[in-house]
A and B are shown apart, each in its own frame.
Chain A
Amino acid sequence: MSTDFSLNSELHDKTLVIKTEGYINNIGGEKIVQEFTKHSDVNKLILNLENSKVVNSIGISHLIEVIEILNQGNGKLVFTNLDPTIEKTFSIMGLFQFAEKADTVDAALNS
């Protein structure tokens, strides 16, 4: 499988901010899950997708997994800086029923 995917993360108390870059496919999704599971006490994940313009269903299934884990512990996932295409994709796939969205990371940190 090919990917141009990379990510970096920052921890703010119990909030993890992950910024992605590139195609969120199986590898991209796995990397997000791996990064998230490194931080067991996190109850809020902010996913900054400013530099990710394309996502596929497999990538989405990984995101759903993260949402389910967070929701179980009364945590939440907030997507930020969404490209309109990705926002529409998430909306159709029903992700916003269980996750939130914000314009920027700062707005998500304050939500």
Chain B
Amino acid sequence: MVNNNLVEKLALQVESFQEGFELLSKSFSFLEMVKNFLHIIRGNFIITEIYSFHKLANDSNWSNISLKKIPDPSYSSFLHDSENPSLKYFDDPRIEVSITLPLADKTYLGILIGPKFDKSNFTDFDKITLQILLQVFDSAYKSFLNQKKEKALIFELNERVLHLNNLIDAGIEISRYDKKSDLYDIALARITSMTNASSALIEIVKKSQNNHKRYIVFPTGIDPDKILTSRFKMESSFEHNDRLYNFVLSEKETRHNTTAFNELDKMLLDAVARQVQVSIENQFLNDQAIEKEKMEQELIVAASIQQRILPTELPKIAGYEFSGINIPSKEVGGDYYNCIDLGRGKFAFIIADVAGKGIGAALLVSTLDAALYSYLQFDIPLTEMSDRLNKLIYKSSPSDKYITFFIAVLDSHTGELDIVNAGHNPIFLLRKDGTLEKLDAGGVGLGMFDFGIPFAGQKSIINSGDKLFLYTDGIPEAMNEQEEEFSDERMISFFQNNAHISSQEFINALVNDVKGHTGTAPQSDDITALILKKL
């Protein structure tokens, strides 16, 4: 009969046990769960004094985890150790029940329950209820631990997905940035976040500048030394174009401390560093391609300027025969030649070479050409004209640009030659009898200096059967694949041995000889030559 009553009473309590389980299961933390459990016990047995304690597996002392302090240390003596759920009942006005509950995480919960409010003793029903409540707590705590594990697993899984996503996004963002400062900032922010690093930096060492170092840090403002000397750090580096890029992560964070980085962190760091490397390399190649394209465009313009300036047809001079050629190199040099009819049987033969190549050289040739046409209209001495040209070129060109220049004004009636050689290679006059004369009087190249030093002139006469050979350094300096020059000697020898053939044949044969020497080697400079023969 008594048992039947107990069963009935317990059946009525089932709903209350279920509610208790739900309340406990919803607890946010262990402490909150214990707090709620004490509330349940208080409510079930109408108790005012109740204390909870906790201890770890290997701990000999219990820690009071109640909101209320125990009235005096003697209360602790009611606590007891047990490897199984254990309840001890006392006939003591301070504590009536001592509970030890081993928990699923190998820790222990201790509970001390004071007298009931009505001072009555714990009945059998109370004792069974208490046993069941302990089981409810145990189940709820297991459920709580499982939920915690599940949350941790979901968090970890999400974190891995986040890593993957961050890596992909970082790759896209890094490849998109063309400003290196943005590239470094985004890379540092991403890798710091992905690895839970406390801080990070990129150290850029420029080797050719005495290992000069530059640092980019995250978070902004942190002292690089603090990162470089930190206890836990991880590094990844690469080299590109004279620079060493060293990525350093510092202090991996946990909720309570910092720790060493792991293998996954290393993989992530290497991956981000590699993305930055690829981006820098791509940017470098892109810059080079743009520069190359720019140069090619410039060369097209330069070639067009040069071809417009060079004569398409040379004047005919009675009693003389002459031919000229200009073969521009791929890089377009600044070679110039011309024969200008000055009237009254006078003709100016000019050959010049601008130091440098490309559009700058072509524009300087253009300036020279215009100035020559202008000055040659006036019958001023060549030395004075050369001085004026020098001043003009000096003013209109940068310090590294100058022109080697040769001019010979021929009086076709008398064969008189009025000559100035401003820094150009010696020009050769081959006499009918085989004597070779050098025409090199003049001065320095046009535009080199403006010291007011006068140019020296030279007079000569070209007689019947004599030949005047003008050329630029593209001929003697033409190189073959073994980097051997055509040479002055070979050119002079060619001139001496082939002077008897017609001027056009001479030019063609000379070009063939030079090309025969250079073979498959690319032409490195303009080839310009002009030959004048008095019949």
Once the chains bind, are A58 and B253 in contact (CB under 8 Å)? yes
* Assembly CA distance A68 to B29 (angstroms): 10
Query: Looking at the complex, which one of A4, A55, A92 makes contact with B219 (CB distance below 8 Å)?
Result: A4
Given contacts A1-B253, A2-B199, A56-B253, whether A92 and B192 have CB atoms under 8 Å apart is no
Once the chains bind, are A53 and B189 in contact (CB under 8 Å)? yes
Task: Say if the beta carbon of B158 comes within 8 Å of chain A.
Answer: yes
A1-48, CB < 8 A from B: 1-5, 22-23, 25-26
* Assembly CA distance A57 to B254 (angstroms): 9
Question: For residue B166, which residue of chain A has the nearest CB?
Answer: A89
* Assembly CA distance A58 to B156 (angstroms): 11
* Assembly CA distance A5 to B255 (angstroms): 16
Task: Say if the beta carbon of B258 comes within 8 Å of chain A.
Answer: yes
Query: Looking at the complex, which one of B154, B159, B219, B227 makes contact with A3 (CB distance below 8 Å)?
Result: B219
Once the chains bind, are B221 and A89 in contact (CB under 8 Å)? no
How many B residues, CB 8 Å from partner?
32
Query: Which residues of B are found within 8 Å of A54, using beta-carbon distances?
Result: 189, 192-193, 218
* Assembly CA distance A69 to B26 (angstroms): 11
How many A residues, CB 8 Å from partner?
26
* Assembly CA distance A88 to B26 (angstroms): 29
* Assembly CA distance A88 to B227 (angstroms): 29
Q: Using CB atoms and an 8 Å cutoff, list the residues of chain B in contact with chain A.
A: 26, 28, 154-155, 158-159, 161-162, 165-166, 169, 189, 192-194, 196-199, 218-222, 226-227, 250-251, 253-255, 258
Once the chains bind, are B154 and A61 in contact (CB under 8 Å)? no
Once the chains bind, are A4 and B221 in contact (CB under 8 Å)? yes
Given contacts A2-B199, A4-B220, A68-B28, whether A26 and B193 have CB atoms under 8 Å apart is no
A39 CB to nearest B CB, Å:
18
Once the chains bind, are B219 and A93 in contact (CB under 8 Å)? no
Q: Using CB atoms and an 8 Å cutoff, list the residues of chain A in contact with chain B.
A: 1-5, 22-23, 25-26, 53-58, 61, 64, 68-69, 72, 85, 88-89, 92-94
Once the chains bind, are B253 and A25 in contact (CB under 8 Å)? yes
Query: Looking at the complex, which one of A2, A55, A69 makes contact with B251 (CB distance below 8 Å)?
Result: A2
Once the chains bind, are A55 and B28 in contact (CB under 8 Å)? no
Query: Which residues of A are found within 8 Å of B258, using beta-carbon distances?
Result: 1
Query: Looking at the complex, which one of A23, A26, A64 makes contact with B254 (CB distance below 8 Å)?
Result: A26
Once the chains bind, are B28 and A69 in contact (CB under 8 Å)? yes
Once the chains bind, are B198 and A93 in contact (CB under 8 Å)? no
Query: Which residues of A are found within 8 Å of B250, using beta-carbon distances?
Result: 2
Among all A-B residue pairs, the 6 with the closest Cβ atoms = A4-B219, A2-B199, A1-B198, A26-B253, A56-B196, A58-B253
Query: Which residues of A are found within 8 Å of B198, using beta-carbon distances?
Result: 1-3, 25-26
Once the chains bind, are A85 and B253 in contact (CB under 8 Å)? no
A3 CB to nearest B CB, Å:
7
* Assembly CA distance A56 to B220 (angstroms): 16
Q: A1-B253, A68-B28 are in contact. List 20 more A-B contacts (CB 8 A).
A: A1-B251, A2-B198, A2-B219, A2-B227, A3-B198, A3-B219, A23-B218, A26-B253, A26-B254, A54-B218, A56-B192, A56-B197, A57-B162, A57-B196, A64-B155, A88-B165, A92-B165, A93-B159, A94-B154, A94-B158
* Assembly CA distance A1 to B154 (angstroms): 27
Query: Looking at the complex, which one of B26, B161, B193 makes contact with A92 (CB distance below 8 Å)?
Result: B161
* Assembly CA distance A72 to B33 (angstroms): 13
Given contacts A3-B219, A55-B193, whether A89 and B253 have CB atoms under 8 Å apart is no
Question: For residue A88, which residue of chain B has the nearest CB?
Answer: B165
Query: Which residues of A are found within 8 Å of B193, using beta-carbon distances?
Result: 54-56, 89
Once the chains bind, are A61 and B192 in contact (CB under 8 Å)? no
B169 CB to nearest A CB, Å:
7
B221 CB to nearest A CB, Å:
6
**26 residue pairs from A and B, CB less than 8 Å apart:** A1-B251, A1-B253, A2-B198, A2-B199, A2-B222, A2-B227, A3-B219, A4-B221, A5-B219, A22-B219, A23-B192, A23-B218, A23-B219, A25-B196, A25-B253, A53-B189, A54-B189, A56-B192, A56-B196, A57-B159, A57-B196, A61-B155, A72-B26, A92-B161, A92-B165, A94-B158
Question: For residue A5, which residue of chain B has the nearest CB?
Answer: B219
* Assembly CA distance A53 to B173 (angstroms): 15
Query: Which residues of A are found within 8 Å of B220, using beta-carbon distances?
Result: 4
Please indicate which of the listed interface residues A53, A58, A64 has the most CB atoms of chain B within 10 Å of its own CB: A58
Query: Which residues of B are found within 8 Å of A1, using beta-carbon distances?
Result: 198, 251, 253, 258
Query: Which residues of B are found within 8 Å of A56, using beta-carbon distances?
Result: 192-194, 196-197, 253
Question: For residue A85, which residue of chain B has the nearest CB?
Answer: B169
Query: Which residues of A are found within 8 Å of B196, using beta-carbon distances?
Result: 25, 56-58
A72 CB to nearest B CB, Å:
6
B29 CB to nearest A CB, Å:
9
* Assembly CA distance A57 to B166 (angstroms): 13
Query: Which residues of A are found within 8 Å of B226, using beta-carbon distances?
Result: 2
Query: Which residues of A are found within 8 Å of B251, using beta-carbon distances?
Result: 1-2
Query: Which residues of A are found within 8 Å of B219, using beta-carbon distances?
Result: 2-5, 22-23
B14 CB to nearest A CB, Å:
26
B25 CB to nearest A CB, Å:
13
Question: For residue A86, which residue of chain B has the nearest CB?
Answer: B193
Given contacts A2-B199, A56-B193, whether A61 and B255 have CB atoms under 8 Å apart is yes
A64 CB to nearest B CB, Å:
8
* Assembly CA distance A104 to B4 (angstroms): 64
Question: For residue B159, which residue of chain A has the nearest CB?
Answer: A57
Query: Which residues of B are found within 8 Å of A26, using beta-carbon distances?
Result: 198, 253-255
Once the chains bind, are B253 and A93 in contact (CB under 8 Å)? no
Query: Which residues of B are found within 8 Å of A2, using beta-carbon distances?
Result: 198-199, 219, 222, 226-227, 250-251
Query: Which residues of A are found within 8 Å of B154, using beta-carbon distances?
Result: 94
Once the chains bind, are A93 and B155 in contact (CB under 8 Å)? yes
* Assembly CA distance A89 to B159 (angstroms): 9
* Assembly CA distance A3 to B197 (angstroms): 11
* Assembly CA distance A82 to B162 (angstroms): 17
Question: For residue A58, which residue of chain B has the nearest CB?
Answer: B253
